[in-house]
Amino acid sequence: MQGLASVLAGIPLAALLIGPDQRIAATNPAALDLLGQGIGGRHFLTALRQPDVLTAIESTLRDHAPRRTGYQASDSGRDSSFVVHVAYIDTPESHGVLVCFEDMTEREQAAQMRRDFVANVSHELRTPLTALMGFIETLQGPARRDDKAIDRFLGIMQTEAARMERLVRDLLSLSRVESEERVRPREPVDLSGTIGSVLYMLRPMARERGCEIAFDPVEGIEVPGNADQLQQVFTNLVENAIKYGGAGNHITITIETLDKDVTLRAPGVAVRVRDRGPGIDPLHIPRLTERFYRVDTHRSREMGGTGLGLAIVKHIVNRHRGRLRISSTPGEGSEFMVILPRWTASQG
Amino acid sequence: MQGLASVLAGIPLAALLIGPDQRIAATNPAALDLLGQGIGGRHFLTALRQPDVLTAIESTLRDHAPRRTGYQASDSGRDSSFVVHVAYIDTPESHGVLVCFEDMTEREQAAQMRRDFVANVSHELRTPLTALMGFIETLQGPARRDDKAIDRFLGIMQTEAARMERLVRDLLSLSRVESEERVRPREPVDLSGTIGSVLYMLRPMARERGCEIAFDPVEGIEVPGNADQLQQVFTNLVENAIKYGGAGNHITITIETLDKDVTLRAPGVAVRVRDRGPGIDPLHIPRLTERFYRVDTHRSREMGGTGLGLAIVKHIVNRHRGRLRISSTPGEGSEFMVILPRWTASQG
């Protein structure tokens, strides 16, 4: 079976061969990962177990006709699903049934994500829309000619419409970044200058909330990137720090060069945005960059958040071949670190 | 090579083997479909042609290490893209390089569709939202205390908000139907009763537009289905016929049982919704059920259409394991035919 094992190893799917004695005659590494390291030589009934797969194999052993069926795997809480292709083969070396497992998990998850996304977008829009329609009706009926009510309601309507506009704008940003994610941007972008202009624009917001921001620019650090998108990254991070940093907030932004970052395998630069707010429960941290994931939905909406800010940050950082790391100590504050590959002479 | 050809035939991917003489020693049918029927026995350089693939094969023939690369195919205007897996194999029968083509086209198209969808939704929302925000601003400023302007603007605002609400409602319908598409609904639904109640609800709209509707119910025809969803199918189709049927419009709805429909391979029933409107250019027909595809964007928006109505119809009909057929003669009218499997005694 040496030869057939070598063929199976070349197939980019989990694959195994069942011999005429109904035992597993050959496997490839992906099949062992999927079904267990000890399946070689065992009767297929004890190795595969799912009735649809067993029936397909038995039938193909009998009539030699190819078949397709499904297989569900569950490993440490992660469900995977496969299309199983069963085919009779006949070689001088052996004959039997070749079983190949085509992994559909990613495709199914992508479909599920799309549906969740649409449901989320619709839900996010419905609330402000219902409010708007209610106010329009009230202004046409009960509050008609009531100048004070009209002024007040128009103010709320403006807030709700602006919320929807932010959502639409963030949706468009996200879809644009996603569609470009494979194309790495390569303009030299001055990092301190970018952060400086973000801070200049956010100064009024920070002042209004009594928030101090400390930033010591480091001159001459450039990264290959897209200036607008990097500006959006730091705008979103600093805005979050201002919004969620709590009372008496103090934000520190630092830039540090890394000679050879382990994950980037290249010279990098780390920008840290640190606040002294209440911090984030570690439970939430791995999910913060998911679309519409919020630690506190009510608070986020109140603050005008769309639930897409960190998802946009993550995708822009990915596009720049960088890393986003979030850490927090509840009661002491949070740190959002963006690591980007640095501009080097060879790229110039 | 007979034996290896039988193994290749069992692999559910386009696959071929290149022998030590650098010629294509074995292929499977999917590889012949992808690369041409005449590639067997040819030198791989003349059969594959794309530099990345050739380099990968040459290197693996030399050093026996596995490799991955990409392959783009274009067949009668349809682009496909593949991940190519190249692996050295060594069997008693032969040795050489196994090349497997993993088709990524569907996955890439799904990602592209999602991005287009988000961009479309955002665009559809932006127009009414901008209008709303403009009117709110005008009512807060120039038109403040101008009762006539207030009344008029509130009316337009209501129309715009209602348009957005319809879009959000249709988005939710669509995502719900899609998520259930694999689960076939099985309640017995009385077809004539469903269509009758749709017509009852649409009567005011038909009357308003001077449109006559003729329907001869056929009693006792049931289909396995979901009553609400089937009602939505016929509501969308009849609404479209009323909206786009033109002046002096006359709509005919007929029900016809099919003893054994060819495509369903089972007893079926065909419902035809026919109008005598201007008809649809055959160019548009294949694309009518795409999300946000519109023959006349301006007209559709004016009519209050979301661009999702026929996409919802298609998905509901799919879920019911039925067929939607659209035909039209420009100048004479259009026909939307829904074919559904009929309820049979064995299902009762």
Taking CA–CA distances from A3, the nearest residue in chain B reads B91
CA–CA gap between residue A130 and residue A163 (Å, rounded): 13
A98, B11: Cβ pair inside 8 Å? yes
**Average pLDDT for residues B153-167, to the nearest whole number?**
90
What pLDDT is stored for residue A348 in this prediction?
47
CB atoms within 10 A of CB B113: 13
What pLDDT is stored for residue B314 in this prediction?
96
**Range of A151-155, A183-187, A337-341 with top mean pLDDT:** A337-341
**Average pLDDT for residues B98-118, to the nearest whole number?**
87
Q: Mutate one of A99, A117, A125, A173 to test the B interface: name it (highest B CB count within 10 A).
A: A125
**Range of A195-209, A247-261, B117-131 with top mean pLDDT:** A195-209
Q: Is the pLDDT of residue B108 over 50?
A: yes
- Contact in structure between A171 and A121 (CB atoms under 8 Å): yes
Q: How far is B168 from chain A (nearest CA, A)?
A: 5
Q: Is the pLDDT of residue A211 over 70?
A: yes
In chain B, what residues touch A125 (CB-CB under 8 Å)?
125, 164, 168
ipTM surpasses 0.85: no
Ordered DSSP codes for A323-346: EEEEEEETTTEEEEEEEEEPP-GG
Query: B348 pLDDT band (50/70/90 cuts)?
Result: very low
pLDDT, chain B, mean: 90
Taking CA–CA distances from A177, the nearest residue in chain B reads B115
Least Cα distance to B303 among B117, B159, B201 occurs for B159
Six-digit token string for A238: 């600093």
Q: How far is A322 from chain B (nearest CA, A)?
A: 22
**Domain boundaries of chain A, sorted by first residue:** 2-103, 105-180, 184-348
Q: Is the pLDDT of residue B309 over 50?
A: yes
B274-290 pLDDT, tens per residue? 999 888 998 999 999 99
In chain A, what residues touch B145 (CB-CB under 8 Å)?
147
Q: How many CA atoms lie within 13 A of A58 on its CB side?
A: 10
Q: How far is B100 from chain A (nearest CA, A)?
A: 7
Query: A69 pLDDT band (50/70/90 cuts)?
Result: very high
B164-197 pLDDT, tens per residue? 999 989 988 988 888 888 899 989 999 999 999 9
Taking CA–CA distances from A99, the nearest residue in chain B reads B10
CA–CA gap between residue B152 and residue A152 (Å, rounded): 19
**Average pLDDT for residues A73-81, to the nearest whole number?**
82
Query: A345 pLDDT band (50/70/90 cuts)?
Result: low
* Three-state DSSP state, A33: helix
In chain A, what residues touch B136 (CB-CB under 8 Å)?
154, 157-158, 161
Q: Which of A264-268, B28-32, B86-90 has the lowest mean pLDDT?
A: A264-268
Q: Which of A54-68, A160-174, B108-122 has the lowest mean pLDDT?
A: B108-122
Partner-chain residue, chosen from B12, B122, B157, that has the shortest CB–CB distance to A102: B12
Interface A-B, measured as beta-carbon pairs within 8 A, has a size of 177
Partner-chain residue, chosen from B107, B110, B126, that has the shortest CB–CB distance to A168: B126
Q: How far is B138 from chain A (nearest CA, A)?
A: 10
Q: How far is B213 from chain A (nearest CA, A)?
A: 33
What pLDDT is stored for residue A6 in this prediction?
85
Phi-psi region of B246 (alpha: psi -120 to 50; beta: other; left: phi over 0): left
A125, B164: Cβ pair inside 8 Å? yes
Q: Is the pLDDT of residue A220 over 70?
A: yes
Across-strand partners of A72?
A81
Q: Is the pLDDT of residue B299 over 90?
A: no
Q: Which of A136-145, B185-194, B230-239, B338-347 has the lowest mean pLDDT?
A: B338-347
Query: A143 pLDDT band (50/70/90 cuts)?
Result: confident
Q: Is the pLDDT of residue B260 over 90?
A: no
B93, A92: Cβ pair inside 8 Å? yes
Partner-chain residue, chosen from A6, A98, A125, that has the shortest CB–CB distance to B10: A98
- Contact in structure between A271 and A286 (CB atoms under 8 Å): no
A115, B11: Cβ pair inside 8 Å? no
Taking CA–CA distances from B8, the nearest residue in chain A reads A89
Q: Mutate one of A28, A85, A114 to test the B interface: name it (highest B CB count within 10 A).
A: A114
B121, A171: Cβ pair inside 8 Å? yes
The distance from CA B96 to its chain's CA centroid, rounded to whole angstroms, is: 43
Is residue A169 packed enough to be buried (19+ CB in 10 Å), middle (13-18) or exposed (0-12)? middle
In chain A, what residues touch B179 (CB-CB under 8 Å)?
112, 115
Q: How far is B73 from chain A (nearest CA, A)?
A: 20
What pLDDT is stored for residue A347 in this prediction?
57
DSSP classification of residue A347: G
Q: How far is A134 from chain B (nearest CA, A)?
A: 10
A105-180 and A2-103 share a CATH fold = no
**Average pLDDT for residues A313-327, to the nearest whole number?**
95
For B185-348, give the CATH class. Answer: alpha beta
Taking CA–CA distances from B177, the nearest residue in chain A reads A115
Q: Is the pLDDT of residue A118 over 50?
A: yes
In chain A, what residues touch B111 (CB-CB under 8 Å)?
110
Q: How far is A220 from chain B (nearest CA, A)?
A: 37
CATH number of B105-180: 1.10.287.130
Q: How far is A88 from chain B (nearest CA, A)?
A: 7
Taking CA–CA distances from A119, the nearest residue in chain B reads B172
A88-106 pLDDT, tens per residue? 998 777 789 999 999 999 8
Quickly tell me which residue has 């109505």 as its tokens: B309
- Write a three-state SS string for chain B: CHHHHHHHHHCCCEEEEECCCCEEEEECHHHHHHHCCCCCCCEHHHHHCCHHHHHHHHHHHHHCCCEEEEEEEEECCEEEEEEEEEEEEECCCCEEEEEEEEECHHHHHHHHHHHHHHHHHHHHHHHHHHHHHHHHHHHHCCCCCCHHHHHHHHHHHHHHHHHHHHHHHHHHHHHHHHHHCCCCCCEEEEHHHHHHHHHHHHHHHHHHCCCEEEECCCCCCEEEECHHHHHHHHHHHHHHHHHHCCCCCEEEEEEEEEEEECCCCEEEEEEEEECCCCCCCCCCHHHCCCCCCCCCHHHHHHCCCCCCHHHHHHHHHHHCCCEEEEEEECCCEEEEEEEEECCCHHHC
Q: Is the pLDDT of residue B144 over 90?
A: no
In chain A, what residues touch B171 (CB-CB under 8 Å)?
118, 121-122
Taking CA–CA distances from A132, the nearest residue in chain B reads B161
Across-strand partners of B71?
B82
For A184-348, give the CATH class. Answer: alpha beta
Six-digit token string for B221: 């025809």
B107, A111: Cβ pair inside 8 Å? no
In chain A, what residues touch B139 (CB-CB under 8 Å)?
150, 154
Partner-chain residue, chosen from B90, B133, B158, that has the shortest CB–CB distance to A136: B158
What pLDDT is stored for residue A2 in this prediction?
61
A175, B122: Cβ pair inside 8 Å? yes
* Domain A2-103: homologous superfamily in CATH: PAS domain (3.30.450.20)
B59-96 pLDDT, tens per residue? 999 999 999 999 998 877 778 999 999 999 988 777 89
